[in-house]
Chains A and B, each alone.
Chain A
Amino acid sequence: MVPPPLLIGNGAGFSGDRLDAAEPVVRTLIARGRPAAMTFETLAERTLALGVLARETDSDGGYEPALLPLLRPVLGPCLAAGIPIVGNFGAANPHGAAAAIARLAGELGLGPPRIAVIEGDDVREAIHDPRIAWEAGRRPDRRIIAANAYLGAFPIAEALRAGAEIVVTGRIADPALVLGPLIAHFGWGEHDLDALAAGTLAGHLLECGAQVTGGYFGDPGVKDVPAPEAIGFPIAEVTADGMITVTKADTPGGLVDRRTVTEQILYEVHDPAAYLTPDVTLDLTGVTVEERARDTVVLRGARGHARPPALKATVSTEGGFLGEGEITYAGPNALARAEMAAATLKARLAALPIRLRIDLLGLQAVFDSDDGARGASAPPDGEVRVRLAAQAEHRATAEAAAREVLGLYCCGPAGGGGVRTAVTRRVATTSALIPRDLVRPRITMVSP
């Protein structure tokens, strides 16, 4: 007998996403009364390295900082309704995350949940293998903080089939968070390429949360978004033969239509005929998008080809320090005073070993280039914020650069105000292709 469709919800699209998004998704899944799973994606390229750094000062840390506020509203309802939770919120410490979830369950008066931890993504010990193909042609010179391969969906499926109610992972291909529950539900195998492709497309659509339901979309008068303060996060229904129906949580906000879905199909995609994942090469060129009803869009036609021979890994290294400072000039001759401030900063910082950029915010800061080349003319007056950004090897140098903006209070052009400065430790990332035999996923059932 063909299993019924599986509903899959998403409660976070990145570390830093809205903390109240998941509860309405779970409430909607429960109201629909059908087999369902819940996913959280919280691990951007550098997030994991930040977790490694956090663990250097707190050995119990290193997992998603917002893990508990994310899960607190949904853990009880999901366990009661038999909706498994899958998330890469383990980051650099999946066992730490699992322990925190177990404590949360106790605090909420729930029985101890069955939690599976998936590891094996950390490939720091294998990083000297000569078969690794580096994006930059060779291994980075700086100290490697983290090196993690993107695992595939099958370990998640295995954990779920073993009875896990919560699956905690570190680095894993984002769509695998959705594909894993689908594999477990439908019993798909490694050679069911079109099915794996459909599940990967569903995961790709959900992995950024609201980006498929009206987030990163609103353009007033052109693409209007109802109640953007209460966007319903996405829910996908996937059938055994790979038909995907995208809907959203029952909240007043957001929308799902041809446009939101089409934008997200191509988000962070390069060649649409070959979107590479650990489990399958997804071909999007035959995908069709059909509006079925309000906030209901049906996709068909994902095709799968053989998975790539190697796994992608993200490697993070020390990235020096970023010093920043801002100051505002307004009213008559504001632009000239801002330009005077910029010239003063450049002269004061000429001897420091930094990479420097100075923006005039309110004019054209994000479209132009580091050397200040602008595409178009800008208005002369109004309000201009001067922004300095300086990349340095050492914290003290970055601080010295940012401090020059502070100095403009008393030494700079007339009427400068609102100074803010900051110094941030940076993590640089690069990628590498790593042979599959160097990556060994492990599943541990940690409780009970």
Chain B
Amino acid sequence: MITVPLHAIAHARSGDKGNRLNIAVIAHHAAVWDALVEQVTETRIAALFAHRRPTAVRRYLLPKLHALNLVIDDVLEGGVNAALNLDGHGKTLSFLVLTLPVTVGEDALAAVRAGLAAQAHRSPANALGLA
């Protein structure tokens, strides 16, 4: 087993509504989906945001998409129309979640890396021999 930042196995996107933040976390590969479910928990997300004092953290699982949706209440310092923070939307906070340490099997991590390499290989720049 190996411990890596969540960024190594998943991608994420932030969205906001008022003072509520949602962050979708999506596995790069089916091989790490179970690790996401086991380790990206409401408790750990609440701890990650403790300095912003969340009033609730809920997690919704979407196994068909290998995605989970985190809904974190009252962590946007009032939201985009009230916050003093430069990023009142919380758009950068998906990458705070991606700092979370996760432990995965070496085979699963290798599968993720092979998938990312294949994805990069498919990019048009590579197809044209430019990259």
Contacts and interface: CB of A to CB of B under 8 A. Distances in A.
The answer to whether A and B interact is yes
Interface of A: 45-46, 135, 216-217, 219, 221-224, 226, 252, 255, 257, 259, 262-273, 284-289, 294, 301, 319, 322, 355-357, 359, 361, 365-370, 373-375, 387, 389-391, 426-431
Interface string B1-38: 00000010001110111101010101000000000000
Residue of A46, A266, A294 with highest tally of chain B CB at under 10 A: A266
B13 A263 contact: yes
A263 B22 contact: no
Given A222-B116, A289-B65, A367-B96, A428 B81 contact: yes
A370 B77 contact: yes
A259 B93 contact: no
A391 B81 contact: no
Given A262-B26, A268-B15, A272-B69, A224 B120 contact: yes
A389 B85 CA distance: 8
Given A216-B13, A269-B22, A429-B79, 9 more contacts: A222-B116, A262-B65, A267-B24, A268-B16, A269-B15, A270-B17, A284-B62, A361-B86, A390-B84
Nearest to A391: B84
Contacts of A257: 119
Nearest to A390: B84
A369 B51 contact: yes
Classify the secondary structure of B's interface with A.
mixed
Nearest to A271: B60
Contacts of A374: 51
A426 B82 CA distance: 8
A431 B18 contact: yes
6 contacts: A135-B18, A266-B24, A271-B60, A272-B60, A272-B62, A286-B64
B131 to A, nearest CB: 9
Given A263-B11, A267-B13, A357 B85 contact: yes
Contacts of B7: 222
Nearest to B20: A270
Contact of A355 (B16, B71, B84): B84
B69 A357 contact: no
A251 to B, nearest CB: 12
B70 to A, nearest CB: 10
A63 B119 CA distance: 42
Interface in B73-120: 77, 79-82, 84-87, 91-93, 96, 116, 119-120
Interface of B: 7, 11-13, 15-18, 20, 22, 24, 26, 48, 51-53, 60, 62, 64-65, 67, 69, 71, 77, 79-82, 84-87, 91-93, 96, 116, 119-120, 122-125
Residue of A45, A272, A286 with highest tally of chain B CB at under 10 A: A272
Nearest to B77: A370
Given A285-B62, A391-B84, A426-B81, A269 B69 contact: yes
B62 A366 contact: no
Classify the secondary structure of A's interface with B.
loop
Contacts of A369: 51-53, 77
B11 A266 contact: no
B22 A375 contact: no
B32 to A, nearest CB: 14
B18 A429 contact: yes
B124 A226 contact: yes
A368 B92 CA distance: 11
A208 to B, nearest CB: 9
Contacts of A284: 62
Contacts of A255: 123
A16 to B, nearest CB: 13
A270 B51 contact: no
A301 B62 CA distance: 13
A370 B84 contact: yes
A284 B122 CA distance: 29
Contacts of B60: 271-273
A352 to B, nearest CB: 14
A370 B85 contact: yes
B63 to A, nearest CB: 9
A259 B26 contact: yes
A267 B124 CA distance: 26
A226 B20 CA distance: 32
A370 B51 CA distance: 9
A224 B123 contact: yes
B123 A430 contact: no
B108 to A, nearest CB: 17
B11 A375 contact: no
Contact of B51 (A357, A373, A431): A373
A368 B24 contact: no
B62 A266 contact: yes
Nearest to B12: A263
Those 4 A-B pairs whose CB atoms lie nearest each other, nearest first: A266-B24, A268-B15, A357-B84, A373-B51
Residue of A219, A259, A263, A359 with highest tally of chain B CB at under 10 A: A263
Given A262-B67, A270-B17, A357-B85, A222 B77 contact: no
